[in-house]
Amino acid sequence: MDELPYLLIAGQFMMAVVAGLLLNLTPCVLPAIPIKVRTILREAGSQRSHRQLAALAFTAGTLTFFLTLGGLTALLQWNWGTLFQSTVFVAVLVALMVGFAVATWLDLPIPVPAFAASAHGRRYFEAFVSGLLSAVLAAPCAGPFLGGVLAFAVTQPAPVIMGIFGSIGLGLSLPYAVLMLKPEWLSRLPKAGPWTLAIREVLALVLLAAAVFFSASLVPQAVYPWLWGSWLALVLFWGIRRFIQGNGAVRVIAATATGLALAVVMVFASPAGNGEGGLAWQPYSSELLAETKNRGAPYLLEFTADWCINCKVLERTVYQAPAVAEAVWRINMVPIQVDVTASDPEKDALLTELGGQALPFAVVIDGDGQVIARFTGLFETDSLVRAINRTQNPQPTTLDIGGESW
């Protein structure tokens, strides 16, 4: 520890806070927004001292998860998102999402365990759980700067790893803790009325959508689209009812939510890849990779998982872009998709070997086996096309792209 450059470590801690802040802007954390909004609104009318304790409880919940994850990373060499490779963990998460959806729809308080109530923690238990679940829902995917921060962290001693993971959690929770402390910043919102009930119901529907999404690794593949269809039918029924019975604001909310629901189902219920204009992915196998290397062909490796929302966004946008498919076809590149939904020692080792610590992760490799570019988090079509084109004229340095903005 004494030999480490402390200025570099301090810089990484600051970068980790920024990475946590920016993680709030990725699609991956959208399912957590209803939980956070619920907690903020419940605390808005409280005394300042109560809001301060609630903000601390929310932050403590987030830090509890990230420090635990940091400790497991240090002890067991876990990758970001390893928890989601556990079927039991995902099943519990889906159940919690459904429970929070019901509680939000009915505006019910979160049940408080006996130990929390006896410790006079009844008032702040929900804030703690909200922070904890928000951190859990952020764990599957990477955002800007996160890949580089994690790559640095795993090479450091346990205290540094814990500090970096704690800094990520602090950045993730900071905006919402500030809103709990400063509820007057929400004063520009219209006064409560029928529109607030409609918004609460929309938040509950978002939580149900999250439950459907994460159930992909739990149910048969043929059943998964039917779950999305059932959810869409519920949204349509709700939207039509609200539109008929509501006023102007409620009708706008109902129409907007219904339109977004249709878009969500189109994105997540339909299979990605191998479509017209997109990449024709080949599923990973050690034999396919060895054959590709022996032929001296360039290749693109994409690491994905059913529980990675950002991965699905990329697969239905960037990887479906005709410019990407044309560039791949022109240089006879082999696009290989590595599914790490469930833990697989060979695939997990390949991810680590190529420098990946979180999903989404992709790597472009030329015919000589040289890594041309690594992509962590969300990135743009042009960035991928430029990297693919560089396999024909590789440069001596490797391009690392950590979540470029859209």
| Tokens standing for residue 221 | 């593949």
Cα–Cα distance for residue pair 59/65, rounded to 1 Å: 10
Reported as a pLDDT band with limits 50, 70 and 90, residue 233 is very high
Please indicate, yes or no, whether residues 183 and 290 belong to a single structural domain of this protein. Answer: no
pLDDT at 141: 66
H-helix or E-strand spanning residue 213: helix 194-214
Half-sphere exposure (Cβ direction) of 198: Cα atoms closer than 13 Å: 24
* Cβ atoms 253, 195 nearer than 8 A: yes
Q: Are residues 298 and 180 in the same domain?
A: no
Strand order across the 334-339 sheet: 282-283, 334-339, 299-304, 361-365, 371-376, 399-402
Q: What is the pLDDT of residue 135?
A: 84
In a domain, residue 220? The reply is no
Q: What pLDDT is stored for residue 285 in this prediction?
A: 94
Residues 166-213: pLDDT tens digits? 998 898 888 888 877 776 665 555 555 677 788 888 888 988 998 999
Domain final residue pick, 138, 164, 187 = 187
Of the two residues 337 and 153, the one the predictor is more confident about is: 337
Domain annotation covers residue 338: yes
Strand 282-283 to strand 299-304: parallel, antiparallel, or no bridges (unpaired)? unpaired
Quick check: pTM over 0.85? Answer: no
**Parallel, antiparallel or unpaired: strands 334-339 and 282-283:** parallel
Q: What is the pLDDT of residue 115?
A: 46
Query: Bigger pLDDT: 257 or 109?
Result: 257
Give 337's strand partners. 283, 302
Query: What value does the mean pLDDT of the chain take?
Result: 81
Final residue in a domain of this structure, among 166, 187, 208: 187
The mean-pLDDT minimum among 182-186, 286-290, 380-384 falls in 182-186
Q: What is the pLDDT of residue 142?
A: 64
Q: What is the CB-side half-sphere exposure of residue 24 using CA atoms within 13 A?
A: 18
Using the structure block, give the residue that is written with the tokens 């205290």.
159
- What's the chain's length in residues? 406
3-class DSSP assignment, residue 252: helix
Does residue 206 lie in a domain region?
no
Tell me which of 310 and 63 has the higher pLDDT. Answer: 63
pLDDT for residue 284 is more than 50 = yes
Q: Say how many domains are in the chain.
A: 2
Least-confidence region, from 179-183, 236-240, 292-296: 179-183
Q: Higher model confidence: residue 304 or residue 187?
A: 304
Distance CA 168, CA 358 (A): 14
Q: Which domain holds residue 112?
A: 6-187
**Is the pLDDT at 73 greater than 90, yes or no?**
no
CATH number for position 318: 3.40.30.10
Residue 254 inside a domain? The answer is: no
- Tell whether 194 is covered by a domain: no
Average pLDDT over residues 98-112: 76
The answer to whether position 262 is within a domain reads no
Whether the Cβ atoms of residue 64 and residue 132 lie closer than 8 Å to each other: yes
**% of the chain exceeding 70 in pLDDT:** 81
